[in-house]
Amino acid sequence: MKHSKEEEASFDPTIPQNVAMWRQRERSRLIQLRRELSLAARQVMDRAISEKLDVLLDKIQTSVFSIYWPIRGEPDLLPLTATLISRGGIVALPIVLGKTQSLQFRTWAPGEKLERGVGNIPVPLQGMEVMPSVVIVPLVGFDQAFFRLGYGGGFFDRTLPLLSSNPLVIGVGYELGHLVTIYPQPHDIPMDIIVTPEKVYRRNIGEG
């Protein structure tokens, strides 16, 4: 749902409550747009994202990659897991422990058992806890300053500053979520790289 001219004219981004309400409306709008994409269109775009990530990650000297289990029309990167493991990498999935807690990262490989976690999201049943050196984060939206619009839970924003590995943070999403700004707040953390089907954006480097 687009915002009316009256709403835009009266919007004051210096008031946190206004930003929270704006984000919720924008989040709902973008998720709806994403869900309206056909399965075939999403598959084509997801392959394009995976191909760009494959090239990008192959050049990175690291071993522990955090991906995610796709929900609500997020890009499906699970096919990339086998490729990363075949190169000697370790793949982990993020686990929500509680509403106000930071995420835990647990190893997983295709074929290993999963269980339903918080929000009914599949999580590794017996994986080891690891510290990722690359964190791949799904985007509902993103802006020109590399800030991410997520689901509003704040899990990644709480977790990333606590990781001693100082990971490279890569956001993945569709161009339909490309915004001018998300009106970043003090707790928001910018992505280092953003990958869409069309482009690879690099913060402070330009785009490739």
Share the mean pLDDT of the chain. 89
Taking 80 as the threshold, does the pLDDT of residue 5 lie above it? no
For residue 115, the 8-state DSSP code is E
Choose among 136, 103, 139, 133: nearest CA to 121: 103
**Which pLDDT score, from 0 to 100, does residue 4 have?**
47
**Which pLDDT score, from 0 to 100, does residue 119 have?**
80
pTM of the model: 0.89
- 42: its two tokens: 């999403």
Averaged pLDDT for residues 153-158: 85
**Which pLDDT score, from 0 to 100, does residue 207 have?**
46
**Which pLDDT score, from 0 to 100, does residue 62 have?**
78
Are 124 and 114 a contacting pair, CB within 8 Å? Answer: yes
Taking 50 as the threshold, does the pLDDT of residue 86 lie above it? yes
Are 16 and 142 a contacting pair, CB within 8 Å? Answer: no
Choose among 132, 200, 123, 206: nearest CA to 169: 132
Percent of the chain at pLDDT > 70 equals: 93
Taking 90 as the threshold, does the pLDDT of residue 23 lie above it? yes
The domains located in the chain, with CATH, are 5-202 (3.40.50.10420)
Per-residue pLDDT band for 205 (boundaries 50, 70, 90) equals: low
Integer Cα distance of 203 and 12 in angstroms: 27
Averaged pLDDT for residues 45-66: 93
pLDDT tens per residue across span 87-101: 999 999 999 888 778
Integer Cα distance of 189 and 143 in angstroms: 12
